[in-house]
Amino acid sequence: MTNITMTDTLDLDHLRGWIGRTETHDELLSPWTATAMAATVRNGSTPWQAGEALPPLWHWCYFLPTAPQNGLGPDGHAARGGFLPPVPLPRRMWAGSQFEFFAPLVLGTPSTKTSRVAEVTLKQGKGGALVFVKVQHEVHARGTLLLREFHDIVYREAAKPGETAPPQTPPADAAWTVEHRPDAPLLFRYSALTFNSHRIHYDHPYVTQVEGYDDLVVHGPLIATLLLEAAQQHNPGRAVRAYSFKAVRPLTCNKPLRVRGHAAEPDGTVSLWAEDAQGALLMQATARLA
- Domains of the chain, with CATH numbers? 1-158 (3.10.129.10), 165-290 (3.10.129.10)
Burial of residue 66, with CB atoms counted within 10 A of its CB: 0-12 exposed, 13-18 middle, 19 or more buried: exposed
pLDDT in tens, 116-129: 999 999 998 777 89
At residue 169, what are phi and psi to the nearest 5 degrees? Answer: -85, 130
Q: Cβ distance 117 to 83 under 8 Å?
A: yes
4: confidence class by pLDDT, cuts 50, 70, 90: very low
What pLDDT shows up at residue 163? 64
What is the strand order of the sheet 128-141 is part of? 22-28, 110-125, 128-141, 144-156, 91-101, 240-247, 281-289, 269-276, 257-261, 176-180
Whole-structure pTM value:
0.92
pLDDT, tens digit, 9 for 90 and up, residues 156-206: 988 776 566 789 999 999 999 999 999 999 999 999 999 999 999 999 999
Phi, psi of 239 (to 5 degrees): -70, 150
Are 280 and 244 in contact, with CB atoms under 8 Å apart? no
Handedness of CA 121, 116, 154, 207 (dihedral sign): negative
Query: What is the DSSP-derived secondary structure letter of residue 77?
Result: S
